[in-house]
Amino acid sequence: MNFDKKLFYLIAILFISCNNNSLLVTDLQGVNESIKEQYAPDKRVVIYDIEVDYDNDKIIVSGETDSKIGYQKLLDSLKSLDINFLNKIRVLPDTVIGNEMYAIGNNSVLNIRSEPKHSAELGTQGLLGMSLKVLDKNGDFFRIQTPDGYISWVDKGGIYRMSKSEFDNWSNSKKIIYTNTNGFVYESIATTNTIISDIALGGILKYISENKNTYEVEYPDKRKGFVKKNEAKVLTEWLKNTTATQESIEKTAKSMLGFPYLWGGTSSKGMDCSGFTKMTYLLNGFIIPRDASQQINTGKIVDNDLNFSDLQKGDLLFFGTKVTKDKKQRVVHVGIWLGNNKMEFIHSSGNVHISSMDENNVLFDKMNKYRYLGSRRYLGVKDKNIIDLKDELEL
């Protein structure tokens, strides 16, 4: 039953039995769940943790959400019923965050966790210079949202918080992007003295100046340093010269061969399967969804017959458990199709390596062939979940 029908049903219930508080709460909970299903179906990208209870002759709605439209729908529903209720919902970000509702990644790699503690599961990673929204605070951890919409927790040491004006200043400033696998930012122009920090592939810093061999750069927290010029490029120039093609996707993917597998990783220090596909597309100028189960719902469906004949280089292949009458489809793995007349694909499993769907190929991957679910094409496809960085930077 959709949200509007549930609300109509609830109004009817009120007319029939306005004194049955148990029934009222149960149906309000149903309306609340319908709102969640409609406006916050994926908890990885939208927060909607709201409960409806009854205490001391009063309906109490409590919890937290960052969905302003979902929140307003719930309030409108309650008000339309003309019932007395107590609103204890936090709409994030709120006063706990104050004016610093933005942040920039301040370490080479940000470890972003499922809960606000260091022992929690690694959900994803961010990179130096990554723009973030700050939604909440718990001890030394902040709940943040990455450019792909992913919401989770990062410790305070990994980010530098900013006001809107400071964030806009950073966003509009000239920057460099680090294009080497890993390296360092140095304190001195000599680049042989003190190291300020390491820096990883895709890291971004503010451009200050340059000479023959180095870029002078600035961190979000105002530290200044120097990056070797042959290891980085001016961001806008890099992006202007970056054209995502089948060949560029293959070249980028193969440049990460041997990178170690890391659950939750999306960096050159370690990456899981969807972190690898995400990083490959990022280095070709696109931000795509974080997880394989999100990536499979993006782009154009290809290879309906599941025989690999309709695939083009750069397509994403998905693997897992197929749908049955009792169970939903479950996506657990993703790779990038290379083809090359060898039915090859490249993926992160143990490490980044090439496998094949051809039984006669020494790289044949029997397990993945028999759990193949289908493919999606991202190249040349317009989709709200495929963000073109050239559009974002108005190039």
Q: Do 334 and 290 contact (CB within 8 A), yes or no?
A: no
Helix axes 246-254, 273-282, angle to 10 degrees: 130
Indicate if 347 belongs to the active site: yes
Retrieve residue 51's tokens: 């409960």
CB proximity list for 121: less than 8 A, separation 6 or greater:
113, 114, 115, 263, 264
The DSSP annotation for 160-223 comes to EEE-HHHHHHHHHS-EEEE-SSEEEEESSTTSSS-EEEEEETT-EEEEEEE-SSEEEEE-TTS-
Cα of first residue to Cα of last residue in the chain, in angstroms, is 45
Indicate if 18 belongs to the active site: no
Query: Which ranges of the chain would DSSP assign to H, the alpha helix?
Result: 3-16, 21-39, 68-80, 164-172, 235-240, 246-254, 273-282, 292-295, 366-369, 389-392
**Best CA proximity match to 198, nearest among 216, 185, 180, 179:** 185
The DSSP annotation for 358-381 comes to -TTSTTB-HHHHTTEEEEEE-TT-
Task: Specify the DSSP class assigned to residue 257.
Answer: T
Task: With H, G, I as helix, E, B as strand and everything else as coil, classify residue 56.
Answer: coil
Residues labelled as active-site residues: 273, 333, 347
